[in-house]
Structure 1
Amino acid sequence: MKKHLFSVAVATSVLMAGTSVAQADLLDDVMERGYVQCGVTEGLPGFSNPDDNNEWTGLEVDYCRALAAAIFDDPDAVRYTPLTTAVRFESLSNGNVDVLSRTTTWTMSRDTDLGLSFAGVTYYDGQGFIVRSADGVTSALELDGAAVCIQSGTTTELNATDYFAANGMDASNFLTFASRPETVQAYIEGRCDTYTTDASGIAGDRTKFDVPGDHIILPEIISKEPLGPAVRSGDTRWFNITRWVLNAWLGAEELGVTSANVDEMLESENPEIRRLLGVEGDFGAPIGLSADWAYNIVKQVGNYGESYEANVGPSTPLGLDRGLNALWTNGGLHYPMPIR
């Protein structure tokens, strides 16, 4: 019996050692390569959108930049791969991208069946509908029998089907399209009465319309869509980096640390701020990063609130109030885990 237990212990140790080596691979590869390969939306204002010079901006892009700042002390050490809904998970699984930061909803099936791990939530969203103001529709409950454009292979399709069925509405005129641009274009061309996707995405798309004011987003939100970055499962160190970058980004806002005052905050007596900025303790070493990894995020990218206001907030064309995306201290859902 003792011999058997010893053999099991040895086998377990070997397995754990092998796992540790495997877990170190992606960070090592990324550092050797010199940049993070980030999978993003094909082009969605406020979240991940390229300009004419192929410079990417947006809330999800800023997460990628924060990741690069933490690893390389350089927020520009990122390359972006625009991905359609149909290929996003395959692209992550086969290693074409290191992290997926692309309006992707965290669901149980994705978390358990696809070999993915979600680092957290960057944006709490919900599915909505957009219609032409001239049609006089004021509620999604008035869309019985309407032609609805939907992107196939998304949670959007199932949510809309469930919503119509639950409300006794005719869903026979649903039109599905392979990509987001095709879906939006079909609506613009008048092939459907409405299209449905995450409400934030609709707000972003509307900014590109010739006359945004001719279209209204209906008040009903028919689903929960917690959007966040995902990585391949099985690489604990890389997963921890992606998760704690998000927590530090949010935590900096909670502690009042901004890109403008971060250097002054190095002298703070607040132990939480001192740990965040690497003045006290070394929380970078366990995940393979320098002690000032979170300082680099705030200094070079800003905190979550700064990114939100710059990309999707009330003063931007999207005009999105914080709402659920406020910190828990302000009535929202964002609750950063403590660095200690």
Structure 2
Amino acid sequence: MCWAFMRWAPPLADSSKPSSFRRVPMRRRKTGQSAPMPGCSAPARTRIRMIWTDYLFEPIESFRAFNYLKSLDPRWPVSVAVADVGHQIAQNKPDTWHRLNVRAWGFVQSNINGAHDRQTHVYSEPTICANDTDTDQNLTAAQQLEGRTPEDLSHGTMTINYPGADSFTELSGTGDPDGLATDPLTPEIVPGSAVPPPCRVSGAATFSGRYSALSETVDRHVLYVGLGDVQVDYVQTGVTAQLDARVWDVAPNGTAILVTRGTYRIDPAKGDIGGTLRLPLFGNQWNIELGHRIRIDLSEVDTPYLVPGKTPNTLNISDIRLVLPTREATTLTFAGSQTSA
């Protein structure tokens, strides 16, 4: 009997604590053929629990693993669940952990007597922040979504076209206070605290060396769910470069809360020779409320979370677009305005 778990724990009475994490290597198999893990008599049952807001274990990696296994066999017994749990940057609400652990335990029980091919699902819960200025939301609500693939969670897109252009070097973004404010391991959660830590808030609407821009006011409620990406046209000189992105939800009172982020290493030796760059985001399930705006930050340095590039370079970007998958089956387009310092 073989199992492959990523962040799994049984449904304990106190299920608010994340369990240990380990990766198990997968082996290729042809569609329709059984290819067990080494030493196993059947395909590994795989339960993947990843975190929308834990940037040390990004959902994009679990989605890639899910899609890879399903490409080998559409009925491979693999299940994925994503929610606002994990390291310090996540809220780790006990109700959320309990629901995830109950689902994980059900997956174990359904496979405990032997693996069997099955149609499985991707399960998602939203990030709902206590400090999002919305007093009407139920902070413990599940708002559960399911799909047969990660892509099935969304049915439409929201595109924001941001104006202007910018030029970076390997030092651009150094000293940005929002880097420390959004680090996954800072600050630490107080053990035993009954109140989840607030979602990360921006302390600098603009910063020298960083491109920042705001969308126009969103004229309806939009449910962002999935990964999304930032697309830019670019010209780069030097050995390598790095482009880091943060996406913020800005309330009418100006409070900006981190929604997601992403990073891309530009390497001409790997074929990055200019043109259009697509920077994948880590994703989330997030309610964008009527009257809010979406801010994007771009730079080459996002410390202490990411190790910055060390090779001298110049990176020129323009024609900046943010594309977010939405639950609603609509194609929305919004304009933006640059606010860089």
**What band does the TM-score fall into relative to the shorter chain?**
under 0.3
What TM-score comes out, normalization by structure 2 length?
0.22
1 or 2, which has the higher strand percentage?
Answer: 2
